[in-house]
Structure 1
Amino acid sequence: MEALVIVLDVGPSTGTLCADGGATFIDTALLCCDRIAQRKLFEDKNKDHMAVVVVGSEESDNRLADADADQYQHVSLARRLAPVDWPLVRMLSPDRLHATEAQGDWLDGLVVALDHLVEMSRTHKYQQRRIVLLTDFGGPLCTDQLDAIKAGLRKYDVDLMAIGTELATDGSDEMQLKPTGKTEPADDLQMKTEDGSALGGGEPRPGPSGARGLYRHDGKAKTRQQLEGESAVVQLIRAVDGGFFTFEQALPQLLFFHKRKSRAAPWNAPLQIGESLSINITGYSQIKKVTMPSWRKLAAGPQPAPVKRRTTYERQDEQRSAVPFEETERAYRYGTTLVPFSRLDQQELEYRSGAPRSIQVLGFTSASNVGPHLYQDTQTVQVVARRGDAGAEAALSALIHALQETDMVAVARRTYNNGGTPRLGALRPNIRHDLECLVWVQLPFAEDMRNPLFPPLPTAVPQETLSAVDQLIDAMDLTAPAAEEASERLEPGALLSPQFQRLYQVLAARALHPGEPLPPPDADLLRQLSPDPALAAPDALRAVAAACPLTELLLPHQRRETGRDVFQAAAAAAPDQAGPAATVTDLIKPEVTEVGTVNPAEDFDVLLRRDDVRFDELCSQMQRVISRLVRESLTRPALLEKTVAAIGRLRTACRGVSPAAYNAWVAEARGQLSERPAVWQRVVADRLGPIVASESAHPAAEEAEATRFYDGGAAAAAAAEAVQAAEQEAAEDLLDDL
């Protein structure tokens, strides 16, 4: 839990307008305070306390002024340390706080804030204490207690952060400050640049004469009093390793809401390899999909109240009589029949593995066999050795290094709880300078796989096309240039979800202004959603467009043709058509919806040209029809040509899309084909066996495999022919006996 005290200066100088007629210092400072409060308000399970000390108030409301009437004047503790709530957000608005005519010492405000922190720390356990100072240093200044304030901040471990206009600098930039590593990366007030590095004083804004930071926000030169105040705050910040940020640096970062990062819950279990090796490990969620906050339904009105939902069940009769829930039963509808399925049946249906909580290694495979396209689920888990177990650390480290050196992964099953449903996954080694671990990723089962088939891509690409694409990749490289350490734009760990940011902005606007229209998205949020101008690469894009001319391809439901278009197209094509004219049979011919046994090859061609039929399903239909025709060809020799034509048409289509699918089927169907000698002879004569590599640009069978196919089928066909001859001879003997 953190204690944060905002020290806000509202003296006369903070109410002057900027030189360009923009917002005053106090308006910009209040905007920063408002965003700090809202960030904490929207954090999950946030228990931080926040207080506000106003410097330059008309009254002097603090206990130090009560003890000494001549000290700490025009400083007020406007709000004591308490959890952040909407009244605090409303208080930090221009309607409640504005510039006054009173002048207060901002150092007195720091003392009052420190005194309040010490007072509240006696009754509350704060893990972190912080003061945020927002002032233009325009008020009176007494530095007699400067050393005492430094000592107090260090004694009670209080962080100090200042936000305001550009500090004055000399040629050595000695007054520019940068936050140290003391601020935690997960802290909700840490400022960062677009590349993720911590912000400091940054590049100060040049004044009218070009001198940096020598001018106030209203364009006038800073007074000696303001320069002395800036020098004093520099000393304080350096004494406690604090930080200074300009408004230009703070506001874009405070716009975004951050979820507080909490320590992941450990998952302790054994890693079992075989029957005798068990390593004590701990799993931590590394990446886990964050869901949107749940909504609560309220009754609309001046005083919204929660709504409780109640479900009632009624019979479908005229009386609509109610049925108690205990008398209901779940059922599944099959056609017009309702099949009851009780809760006991549902419990019996649930799978209970009986396995203990563990990760069991099933085997090892090459890392290339478990590509990113197989990753499933919404989280990854880091698996490390159990803390304090030296034997587990040594064993797991050896396993990680062995997998890394051999480029292998472990395929395992994970049971989260005792008796829970097991999950199939892979353990990949991850070795960094500060960490060695296995990363668990869930893998799909056969039912989870989808295997879409696509037409082949060209095998030969012109060199100018490759060069144009290479230039495009180089121009759109996300690596930040001229950086001390290479970093990436759009780094996942530093990129916030625009959906969450917009949701929080809208909720805050609705809470503060219930009856007003929702505001448009903030400019900084829209900038995050827009492409980076530095990565536009217009020249490279034009080169790719010239090397790869593209045409728009409309889907069937997007095509809009009028009757005039259809008749014009038919008239233009009529002189060139040499085929037979349309007949009455063509007009009454039914629509083809599946491959039939009457004209399988024609049906296959018609369905192949449609966009709403999957190729793998079409091949399955064709294979079933071929199997039926082969069975019936024994008693109906006339089906031989139709069967061979169907096999040839299927082979031709698969040769350009998926030779592996045809080869797998024909290898399985070889036994059935060889049982029909007439069919097998045509298969061999027309070379309808496996598709070899020389026939297709896709992976296909080798010549040796095709040879084995034909040789093995020939032997089976000869045996089948001998059996048929023997059966025919036996039948003739029976006739002779008659």
Structure 2
Amino acid sequence: MAEKEATVYIVDMGKSMGERHHGRSVTDLEWAMQYVWDKITSTVATGRKTATLAVVGLRTDETRNELDEEENYHNISVLSDLGQVLMPDIRRLRETIKPSRTNRGDAISSIVIAMQMIITYCKKLKYKRKIVLVTNGTGSMSNEGLKSIVSKLQEDNIELVIIGADFDDSEYGVKEEDKDSRKADNEALLRVLAEDCDGVFGTLEQAVSELDIPRIKVTKSMPSFKGHLQLGNSEEYETAIRIPVMRYFRTYVAKPPSASSFVLRSGTEAGQESAPGSQAPGEDDTLTTVRTSRTYQINDPNAPGGKTDVERDDLAKGYEYGRTVVAIEQTDENVTNLETFAGMEIIGFIQSDKYERYLHMSNTNVIIAERANDAASLALSSLIHALYELESYAVARLVTKENKPPMLILLAPSIEPDYECLIEVQLPFAEDVRSYRFPPLDRIITVSGKVVTEHRNLPSDSLKDAMSDYVDSMELETTNDEGEPTNELPIDESFSPLLHRLESAVRYRAVHPNDPVLDPSERLTQFAQPSEALVKKSKSYLERLMSVADIKKVPPKTKGRKRQRETEKPLSGLDVDALLNLEPKRTKISAENAIPEFKQTLSRADSVDAIQDAVKQMADIIETQIKHSLGDANYDRVVEGLGTMREELVDYEEPSSYNDFLRRLKGKLLAEELGGDRRELWWLVRRNKLGLIDKSVAESSDVSEVEAQEFLAAN
């Protein structure tokens, strides 16, 4: 379970916070709120009710706190009480936090109010308590009672973080020249306060600069298996080994937040409750969840509309067997389930050098002994050391829960100075292994069995050397001038752009709903391209490789009348048809010899209009064949004609002509406008995959692969 948190943010809203200093384009308050909003939105994104926070305004025009009767606590307002913060609270705070018209207000007194809020809310319960003060240090501050404040902070285990605009920090390298004397005194006072209570004191410049560093979410792992690791049958043999163990994730894929569908709320009906976490009716941009409703229908010629609704309970699972469907009732489905019992049983051992790493089928897990069980720890340690000394791995059968499918796993020993465990990874069954044979890459074997080592499709020795040198020049692990190893791509500094970019965009849009999303930070994009030094270093090797490989630029595809594939030419190189004038240009395609004449017409087309005219004639012929077909007599001819049209128009880079015709044809077929019910013909079109020409087939097409699949699947 996640730890409970109670955090109070104290934001200095004094008049001086509305000023700009040292050439910055934003005010001190806007600069400070970049840090505060990032922390608040990160907490809100977790969605945890136990992650509570509050916001206190310092040097505000009004006074609103529990100690407002005393003069020292004037001009301090509690903007948000401790509790879970939701989106409406963020929007309200965004409108509230603005520079005030006064510079009166004591920062030390605001810390006392924050302490009182935490003590009242948390009582004696176990909470992670924290106070964050963000200020420019220009207001008046009282140093009375600092010792009692420090002792109370330490007594209640409250962490104090003080961040100041233009505060000096020798370690980070920030020093404000010509600093005001009052600000210097206040800065020294706050530094002493933070150091006495073992808190954090820093400059705002460092805090804001570190916001670009993605925060790694540390999750508390839960065991995915609790049971016994067995070697032998303990029920029959006393010598069998039975060790209580636990299984945890070692590596796991971090997934970005998923999106759900919402709609703008037009108004709440009487008696209808709002969705949890949504805004109240009447506010801007209020959203409500989308409810999904499913209905199941079957064909029924006697029912209105030809379909009848059925209940989900009346449905049965069907499994495809060839082109038929085999139904298995729920009562009979138990026959297909394998009865298993939870456990981890070693079934064999293998030498580590005999195992191939490509057999891994899952993320890795760790197997450790049951906690607070010394006997289990000793037994598992003995097994780990035995595997390590014999350079062997164990193969085991794992069932995580009763009646779950069994898995085949590999157990490898891992021994570190202060930690021992078994590394576990899933192995494939025999049916999971696919063995493919590929021709060798370094030689060509002819039909007669002759081995050829020099061929135009084989790399020469000079090409191999050039490629080897180029690869070596891009080595990420190098050494510096002092001989120490360096890495151009350190693993601990490479973050997932998808995950962190999406999270930062959501957090920013939550606070700024009408502003465009900011560009990704440089820390996320720094590894999107190789470093300039690495590119410069390998440039000469790349040029040599291109020269040896004889790399040439491919001209772009041209749209129009020329074919993409080459036609066979006579050995003489002469145009025989033109010389003999045996076949004049055709302008009319006959239905009796449509396909050859369609190809000939396209080959002689000298403009796009001529191609479209040939397509129109072919389309009319196909529709006529369908309309006058007796049953399915002409269906094969129609399918062949459609295939020819599709192939030729792909070659001529005219996919739109085919797509437009196929859309019209589908509409007429389903509307029964071509001689009655022709749905069987559309089924043949789908089986022969004669759908729309998408971008994967022709780049000039405006149809995506998904659209083409949906068009072909829809009835």
Q: TM class by shorter-chain length? A: 0.5 to 0.7
Q: Which among 266, 279, 285 is matched to residue 249 of structure 2?
A: 285
8 A Cα contact 1:35 1:254, kept in partner: yes
* TM alignment of 1:50-449, pairs within 5 A: 50-66=53-69, 69-93=70-94, 96-122=97-123, 125-168=125-168, 173=170, 176=171, 202=172, 204-205=173-174, 213-215=175-177, 221-254=178-211, 256=214, 259=217, 261-265=219-223, 267-275=225-233, 276-303=240-267, 304-318=287-301, 319=303, 320-334=307-321, 337-352=324-339, 354=340, 356-377=341-362, 379-449=363-433
Counterpart amino acid of residue 12 in structure 1:
K
CA distance in 2 between partners of 1:486 and 1:390 (Å):
42
The amino acid of 2:176's aligned partner reads L
Match of residue 12 from structure 1? 15
Give the TM-score of the pair, scaled to structure 1: 0.63
Question: Which amino acid in 2 is paired with 1:105?
Answer: D
Structure 1 stretch displaced more, 325-334 or 395-404: 325-334
What is the Cα deviation at residue 542 of structure 1? 3.3
**Closer/same/farther in 2, CA of residues 442 and 336 from structure 1, 3 Å limit:** closer
The answer to whether the 8 Å contact 1:168/1:214 transfers is yes
Higher fraction of helix: 1
1:286-343 CA deviation, whole Å, 9 max, x = no partner? Answer: 2223445454444543354433323222221232122233333233455664432222
Q: Following the alignment from structure 1 to structure 2, what is the Cα–Cα distance between the partners of residues 565 and 310?
A: 49
Change (3 A) 1:483 1:471: closer
- 1:472 maps to 474
What amino acid maps onto 1:340 in structure 2?
Answer: A
From 3, 10, 16, the counterpart of 2:6 = 3
SS at match of 1:63: coil
Deviations along 1:196-229, one digit per CA (max 9) or x if unpaired, are xxxxxx3x24xxxxxxx123xxxxx211222222
What do residues 66-110 of structure 1 show as CA deviations (whole Å, max 9, x unaligned)?
A: 2xx222222222221111222332244366422432322212221
1:669 matched residue in structure 2: none
Gaps of 5+ in 2: 234-239, 268-286, 444-460, 575-595, 597-715
Distance 1:11 1:291 in 2: 41
Shift of residue 3, structure 1, vs aligned partner: 0.6
Per-residue deviation, 1:416: 0.1
1:487-519: CA deviation from partner (whole Å, max 9, x where unpaired): 884526x654332334334444655566x4752
Change (3 A) 1:141 1:512: closer
Change (3 A) 1:554 1:214: closer
Contact 1:14/1:26 (<8 A) preserved: yes
Q: Report the Cα offset of residue 126 of structure 1.
A: 4.1
Which one is further off, 19-28 or 560-569? 560-569
Residue ranges of structure 1 left out of the alignment (5+ in a row): 177-201, 206-212, 216-220, 576-587, 589-738
Contact 1:480 1:487 in 2 (8 A): no
Distance 1:496 1:278, change over 3 A: same
Shift of residue 423, structure 1, vs aligned partner: 0.4
Residue aligned with 1:376, SS: coil
- 8 A Cα contact 1:34 1:93, kept in partner: no
CA distance in structure 1 between the aligned counterparts of 2:364 and 2:105, rounded to whole angstroms = 54
Match of 2:449 in 1: none
* 1:716-727 paired onto structure 2 within 5 Å: none
For residues 401 and 113 of structure 1, what CA distance do their matches in structure 2 show?
Answer: 54
Distance 2:154 2:82 in 1: 20
C-alpha spacing 1:285/1:317, structure 2 compared with 1 (3 Å): same
Q: Give me the whole-angstrom Cα distance separating, in 1, the residues matched to 2:480 and 2:186.
A: 37
SS state at 2:129 partner: strand
The number of residues matched between the two structures is 523
Q: TM-score, normalised by structure 2?
A: 0.65
Identity %, equivalent residues: 24
SS of 1:113's partner is helix
The structural deviation recorded for 1:252 is 5.0
CA RMSD of aligned residues (A): 3.8
2: distance between equivalents of 1:553 and 1:408? 52
Alignment map for 1:43-54 (pairs within 5 Å): 43-54=46-57
The answer to whether structure 1 residue 503 and structure 2 residue 502 are counterparts is yes
Take 1:41 and 1:33, find their aligned partners in 2: how far apart are those partners? 12
In 1, distance between residues paired with 2:525 and 2:564?
45
Spell out, residue by residue over 1:675-709, the C-alpha distance to the aligned partner (whole angstroms, 9 max, x if none). Answer: xxxxxxxxxxxxxxxxxxxxxxxxxxxxxxxxxxx
Which amino acid in 2 is paired with 1:282?
Answer: M
Contact 1:257 1:504 in 2 (8 A): no
CA contact (8 A) 1:55 1:109 kept: yes
**Distance in 1 of aligned mates of 2:394 and 2:543:** 44
